[in-house]
Amino acid sequence: MSWQADKAHGEEIAYQIASLGHIEVTRFFSGAAMRLDGVMFGFLARGSLFLRVDDVNRPAFVAGGMGPFSYSGRTRTVALEGYYETPADVLEDAGALFDWCRGAYRAALLAGPPKRKARAAPKPKPKPAPKPAPKPAPKPAPKPAPKPAPKPAPKPAPKPAPAAKPASASASKRTAKSALKPASKPPAKRKQT
């Protein structure tokens, strides 16, 4: 049955037991819940009325051959022991229906609000072995003062050219100047015109 059909059936029942108080019929999963003063005392699912039970009114449901609401879970069938199906003969008698619904409302009030399932506590993590107190870190040895960079070795003086002929004074000056110039730099080339 659809939820709309269960809601329509719930509104018919609410009309029959109107002297109990204002009953709201609201959506409840794929069915319809019946609430009086905000307290859910029954619901309709698959075309049947399931009412709240406790130790006082449960024997009447069992005597009528009725059992708890159940549904198929992923791995097993789950039964809700708090709600039992209402016998057909009770649904046909408005006086009996009123009495059974009043008993279900009383059971719902005594049961209180639904209890939330506690989440599984996380598994305690094994405590690591206590670590010994940390030893104070030894002071690092002072760094030695940086050594000055070694001085580059002096460049050897170029070997003097063997003396051949006595040269003119200007030639000897040129040779003397070139001897003073560093050997690593080649002499500049002159542009030819």
The pLDDT tens digits for 15-59 are 788 888 888 787 777 778 888 888 888 888 877 888 888 888 888
Nearest to 157 by CA among 178, 177, 132, 179: 179
User: Does the pLDDT value for residue 90 go beyond 70?
Assistant: yes
User: Does the pLDDT value for residue 170 go beyond 60?
Assistant: no
Any domain includes 181: no
Nearest to 103 by CA among 125, 89, 119, 84: 84
Any domain includes 97: yes
Any domain includes 159: no
Query: In total, how many domains does the chain have?
Result: 1
What is the C-alpha separation between 13 and 94, in angstroms, rounded? 9
Structure confidence by residue, pLDDT tens digits, 104-147? 888 888 877 666 666 666 666 666 666 666 666 666 666 766 67
Say what the pTM is.
Answer: 0.51
Any domain includes 148: no
Lowest mean pLDDT among 78-82, 114-118, 176-180: 176-180
Any domain includes 143: no
Q: What is the CATH number of the domain that holds 8?
A: 3.30.1460.30
**99: containing domain:** 3-106
DSSP symbol at 18: G
Any domain includes 182: no
Any domain includes 163: no
Lowest mean pLDDT among 12-26, 84-98, 156-170: 156-170
Instruction: Write the CA distances from 134 to 130, 137, 139, 140, integer angstroms.
Output: 11, 8, 15, 17
